[in-house]
Amino acid sequence: MTKEKKVARRKALAKWLKESILRLGPTFIKIGQQFSTRVDILAQEYVDQLSELQVKTFLLILGV
């Protein structure tokens, strides 16, 4: 598997993980938010997707 394919696969899996967390509800969203700050244990693709949980939750609080 080439490096580009590996990166593309990680991006797809990261997006799937974020969408699954959103479906699971607030407790899992909070866990995802915590993991979004852990660049030492997750690949950058996962951190990027999970950091969107913080933005989305902030917008929900504001009612936007």
Q: Is the pTM of this model over 0.85?
A: no
**Segment holding 8, helix H or strand E:** helix 3-24
DSSP 8-state secondary structure symbol assigned to residue 30: H
Domain ranges of the chain: 3-62
Residue 45 pLDDT: 95
Query: What does the buried/exposed string (b/e) look like for 17-49 if buried means 16 or more CB atoms within 10 Å of the residue's CB?
Result: bbeebeeeeeeebeebbebbeeeeebeebbbbb
- Average pLDDT for the chain: 88
CA distance linking residue 4 with residue 15, whole number of Å? 17
Residue type, 64: V
Q: Is residue 64 scored above 60 in pLDDT?
A: no
